[in-house]
Amino acid sequence: MPDYKDDQAQTRLALAALTACIAQTLGEQDATFVPRLRENLKKACYLLRDSGSDILGTLETIRNVEQLLKP
């Protein structure tokens, strides 16, 4: 993961960590939840990447969630 020295980067990392924690907790009740979420995150990355907007921070946050959810 990148170096997180500025406030925005730390906020994105915190959001990713909280999202991963919630997903893991939900995954305890439904073993299919985390794999489905990871697939949906990948789809979102592809859709956002094609949007043409400046969304580097958004994509980074989604990728961080994916990394934190890796088995």
pLDDT digit string (tens) for 13-41?
Answer: 999 999 999 999 999 999 999 999 999 99
Is the residue at 14 inside a domain? yes
Residues above pLDDT 70, as percent of the chain: 93
- Which own/partner pairs from 12-21 qualify as long-range (CB within 8 Å, at least 24 positions apart)? 12/57, 12/60, 12/61, 12/64, 13/61, 13/64, 15/61, 16/61, 16/62, 16/64, 16/65, 16/68, 17/64, 17/68, 19/65, 20/65, 20/68, 20/69
Range of the domain at 46: 7-68
Is the residue at 1 inside a domain? no
Average pLDDT, the chain: 90
Is the residue at 2 inside a domain? no
Is the residue at 20 inside a domain? yes
Task: Round to whole Å and give the CA distance between 28 and 56.
Answer: 31
In this prediction the pTM is 0.81
